Amino acid sequence: LHATAFARPWDAHEFERMLCERATQGHALWRAGAMQGFILSRKVADEAEILTVVLAPSARGGGLSHRLLREHLGHLALIGVAQVHLEVDEGNAPALKLYARHGFIRVGTRTGYYAQADGSRATALTMRADLT
Ligand SMILES: CC(C)(COP(=O)(O)OP(=O)(O)OC[C@H]1O[C@@H](n2cnc3c(N)ncnc32)[C@H](O)[C@@H]1OP(=O)(O)O)[C@@H](O)C(=O)NCCC(=O)NCCS
């Protein structure tokens, strides 16, 4: 799933390492026994950072991302997270709309932050949501 979306996908070992850390929080969406999407974040004190969110290409465009993010943010609030941070490619329109709908506001810009498959660099926006 991760490799369907990102030029530099994380490999199985990286996921294994993250999932073994107590700080890592995650939710997944399943249909007919197959994972359709997932979200991972890392909690430190009363803050969390969303590490990745991805839906299978066939599951995109139907609003499932809202369900996944709502469930995840609700869980983070329950375990004491007050602020959530993330980075997103400034050209990723679906992700920007998704985050804006769930209360994320833009707080910064990282020019040339992402390496693209074609060798170019894309700018990241940093965003923050207040869960209190
Ligand atoms: C980002 C992602 C999880 C969003 O899920 P999705 O199912 O595609 O998104 P949705 O259909 O729920 O749409 C989210 C919003 O973006 C809008 N949108 C969808 N495609 C769009 C496009 N090409 N241009 C502009 N807006 C778009 C939708 O209308 C919706 O807006 P709304 O909430 O106002 O109705 C999904 O596209 C994905 O997995 N992408 C690859 C991984 C990725 O980029 N993750 C984010 C990294 S930070």
Cα 124–125–130 angle (5° rounding)? 140
pLDDT (tens place) for every residue of the chain, 132 residues total:
999 998 889 999 999 999 999 999 999 999 999 999 999 999 999 999 999 999 999 999 999 999 999 999 999 999 999 999 999 999 999 999 999 999 999 999 999 998 888 889 999 999 999 999
Cα 77–78–82 angle (5° rounding)? 30
Ligand 1 nearest-atom number relative to CA 92: 44
78 CA to centre of ligand 1 in angstroms: 26
Give the range of the structural domain holding residue 85, as residue numbers without chain letter: 2-130
The closest of 111, 93, 6 to 52, measured between CA atoms, is 6
Residue 85: CATH number of its domain:
3.40.630.30
Report, in angstroms and rounded to the nearest whole number, the Rg of the chain calculated over CA atoms: 15
CB of 54 closer than 8 Å to CB of 38: yes
Ligand 1 nearest-atom number relative to CA 89: 48
Q: Does the beta carbon of 102 lie inside 6 Å of ligand 1? A: no
**How many structural domains comprise the chain?**
1
